[in-house]
């Protein structure tokens, strides 16, 4: 069984090497558009820029329910309880 498994691995590896050689190389990453490029360039030097270039994506904060419930406690103009 182990021999069969090893043979399968060897065959799949050979097939992969052949098939992947025929695939077009993927395009390299590009610098973003003009404004984005400027932002990226300043990231490294700007102490207020995103300091963790490889950190996971931040969750988007939900907007306060503007207008959805004007009398609810989420309303910024509601009196303090």
Residues that bind another protein (CB under 8 A): 1-2, 5-10, 12-13, 15-17, 19-32, 36, 40, 43, 51-57
CB 42 within 8 A of CB 34: no
Beta carbons within 8 Å of 77's beta carbon, 6+ residues apart: none
Q: Report in angstroms how near the CB of residue 30 gets to another protein at its nearest.
A: 6
Q: How far is the CB of 26 from another protein (least distance, A)?
A: 4
Minimum distance, C-beta of residue 63 to another protein, in the bound complex (Å): 17
Measured from the CB atom, the residue of 32 and 70 that comes closer to another protein is 32
If the CB atoms of residues 54 and 77 are measured against another protein, the closer one turns out to be 54
Provide the Cα torsion 9, 12, 18, 19; round to 10°.
Answer: -140
DSSP state at residue 53: T
């Amino acid at each position: 069984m182990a021999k069969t498994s090893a043979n399968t691995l060897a065959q799949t590896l050979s097939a992969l090497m052949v098939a992947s050689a025929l695939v077009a190389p993927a395009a390299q990453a590009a610098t973003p558009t003009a404004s984005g490029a400027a932002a990226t360039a300043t990231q490294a030097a700007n102490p207020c820029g995103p300091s963790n270039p490889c950190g996971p994506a931040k969750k988007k904060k939900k907007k306060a329910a503007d207008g959805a419930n004007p009398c609810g406690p989420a309303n910024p103009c509601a009196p303090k309880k």
